[in-house]
Chains A and B, each alone.
Chain A
Amino acid sequence: MSRYLRIAFFAVIVRPILLIVLGMNLRGREHLPRQGPAIIVANHNSHLDTLTLLALFPLRDLPRLRPVAAADYFLTNKLLSWFALNIIGILPLDRGGIKKNPLADLEAALDRGEILILFPEGSRGEPEQRADFKRGVAFLAKARPHTPVHPVFMHGLGKALPKGSLILVPFNCDVIAGEPFKYEGGAPAFMETLEARMSALASEGHFQPWE
């Protein structure tokens, strides 16, 4: 049931809004994963980021796409947590928990062939300004070194719906997907590669400042 609701939500609400009100320019479609397991790593500006990334894929891929989101934010009230779990299909992550391996659920999802969507900045933060990536993604990649990591840079959604605002202002957004790579040579080297690739994608767009 919620599976159909999820597809309907994306087909009837998310996609038309992204097409008309927001508008999306996608570059590097060929670099997006066609099948799981895969890890998509993106910068985070807005709640719209997740919806936009999910809308990049055909509707039939929806069940395999799992945005990883903070349990302490999305699972606090009943309605939000129903929506997050069933419609968005998040995989809750326990931030600062005391579990033995906080990444166990993520690793299991990859083992099931799912595509994880990760925002290693940890929170939306200041819109259209990148914060440092947290290192959890490196530990996940290390645990599953054969899983391709797909860097995706997004611009513009932080202008359309920044943190703290409820009013949507139409802006085109740009999504630039980069070539996938795999874990190699230790966590610091992996983080360096990831940051470098994101910066390269960001400079491809000639984006103007927003301050």
Chain B
Amino acid sequence: MDIVNGDIIDGLSNRVFWAIGAIYGLLVVASIIVAILKRRAPGDATTELSRRVTSWWFMITIFTIAIITNRIVSTVFLGLMTFLAFKEYLSLIPTRRVDRLLLLFAYWAIPVQFYFAHQDRYGLFLTFIPVWMFLFFPMAMTLAGKTEGFLRAVGTLSWGMMITVFALSHTAMLLAAGDKAGPAGGAGLLLFLVALTQFNDVAQFTWGKLFGKHKITPTVSPKKTWEGFLGGLFSTAVVAALAGPFLTPMPVHWAGLAGAMIAIAGFLGDITISAFKRDLGVKDSGGLIPGHGGILDRVDSLTYAAPVFYHAMHFFVFSGRI
């Protein structure tokens, strides 16, 4: 590819390092702004905000270490993140005692799925959960012999597996694209997706706080507004247009479009997980990340953004070559 000698450190393009540097720059700016806000208006809201920013420092640092070490570490990290999200899901939903061992088995689908992604086995990656697990779960439950609550159990398990494990495993598939993925490699694509998805969450939140008036989904997520959504969409598209040509093979206008797509998909993932939590009567999916809630609360946007971005890349940008 067009990677010249010296542009690569340990198999990782130094473009990835520059992008990570830029993210830390943004984090420093955000920390300063929040510190000023906290001094001006001390209270619960700003304390919560600064707790969130502190958590961002931890999350971005963990992600950075995971992504720059090597691809195996990165994939294992993504798998672990998926495991925590799936575990939160299974812990929240009603489950049946008779399915206890099947749930243990379902966890083992995670390393298998991430192995297929790591090996870049597109066909297996695509069929393992939507076909094989989809058929296996109801079969195992049928053979276990308890029909009471069967539909609910098989439905919730299959959907949870899709929305967490299958959806999030697309991040590992991006990594597996390696140097086929252009100037910054698969890591560049992954960074583009994850950074923009998270940036969009923050941008939507900020625009919404500043100008939010008209609610989009009052019954699902009453704090989401059109102003926040459109502001986030615009900001994310602009940042994507700037970062895209640097991290991906896309030219400016395509990268901007990809950014808009990530913003819309991210928003949909966010409210979909909100609907799920609201149905169960919980506010947060867990308490692992101070100020943010659980892992599932943090990766909710990614559950939609990752598959949509991956398949759009696969189909339109690389014509099946990644």
Known contacts A171-B90, A172-B88, A209-B94; A25 and B101 CB within 8 A of each other: no
Which of B84, B103, B281, B287 makes the CB contact (< 8 A) with A26? B287
Residue of B nearest to A23 (CB): B87
Per DSSP, are chain B's interface residues mostly helix, strand or loop, or mixed?
Answer: helix
Residue of B nearest to A209 (CB): B94
Q: Is the CB of B91 within 8 A of A167?
A: no
B200 to chain A, nearest CB (A): 27
Give the complex CA separation of A210 and B90 in angstroms. Answer: 12
Contact with A along B71-115 (1 / 0, CB 8 A): 000000000100110011011111111001101100100000000
Give the complex CA separation of A210 and B95 in angstroms. Answer: 6
Give the complex CA separation of A211 and B100 in angstroms. Answer: 11
A-B contact count (CB 8 A): 57
Q: How large is the interface on B (under 10, 10 to 19, 20 to 34, 35 or more residues)?
A: 20 to 34
**A44 beta carbon closer than 8 Å to chain B:** no
Known contacts A23-B286, A169-B103; A211 and B96 CB within 8 A of each other: yes
Contacts of B100 in A (CB 8 A): 159, 162, 165, 169
A159-199 interface with B by 8 A CB criterion:
159, 162, 165, 167, 169-173
Q: Is the CB of B97 within 8 A of A211?
A: yes
Q: Is the CB of B286 within 8 A of A25?
A: yes
Contacts of B92 in A (CB 8 A): 208
A5-27 interface with B by 8 A CB criterion:
20, 23, 25-27
Give the complex CA separation of A159 and B92 in angstroms. Answer: 12
Give the complex CA separation of A211 and B149 in angstroms. Answer: 10
Q: Is the CB of A167 within 8 A of B288?
A: no
Contacts of B101 in A (CB 8 A): 167, 169
Contacts of A169 in B (CB 8 A): 100-101, 103-104, 107
Which of A23, A171, A173, A210 makes the CB contact (< 8 A) with B84? A23
Q: How large is the interface on A (under 10, 10 to 19, 20 to 34, 35 or more residues)?
A: 20 to 34
**A37 beta carbon closer than 8 Å to chain B:** no
**A156 beta carbon closer than 8 Å to chain B:** yes
Contacts of A172 in B (CB 8 A): 87-88, 91, 286
B281 to chain A, nearest CB (A): 4
B72 to chain A, nearest CB (A): 18
Q: Is the CB of B286 within 8 A of A208?
A: no
**A206 beta carbon closer than 8 Å to chain B:** yes
Contact with B along A143-169 (1 / 0, CB 8 A): 000000000000010010010010101
**B29 beta carbon closer than 8 Å to chain A:** no
B214-259 interface with A by 8 A CB criterion:
none
A55 to chain B, nearest CB (A): 15
Contact with B along A107-141 (1 / 0, CB 8 A): 00000000000000000000100000000000000
Q: Please, could you name 17 A-B residue pairs with CB atoms under 8 Å apart, sorted by A?
A: A20-B80, A23-B88, A25-B294, A156-B91, A167-B104, A169-B107, A170-B83, A170-B90, A170-B107, A171-B87, A171-B90, A172-B87, A172-B88, A172-B91, A206-B282, A210-B95, A211-B97
Interface residues of B, Cβ cutoff 8 Å to A: 80, 83-84, 87-88, 90-97, 100-101, 103-104, 107, 280-282, 286-288, 294
19 new A-B contacts at CB < 8 Å, known A172-B91, A208-B92: A20-B80, A23-B88, A23-B91, A23-B286, A23-B288, A25-B287, A159-B97, A167-B101, A169-B100, A169-B101, A169-B103, A169-B104, A170-B104, A170-B107, A171-B91, A172-B87, A172-B88, A172-B286, A209-B94
Interface residues of A, Cβ cutoff 8 Å to B: 20, 23, 25-27, 127, 156, 159, 162, 165, 167, 169-173, 206, 208-211
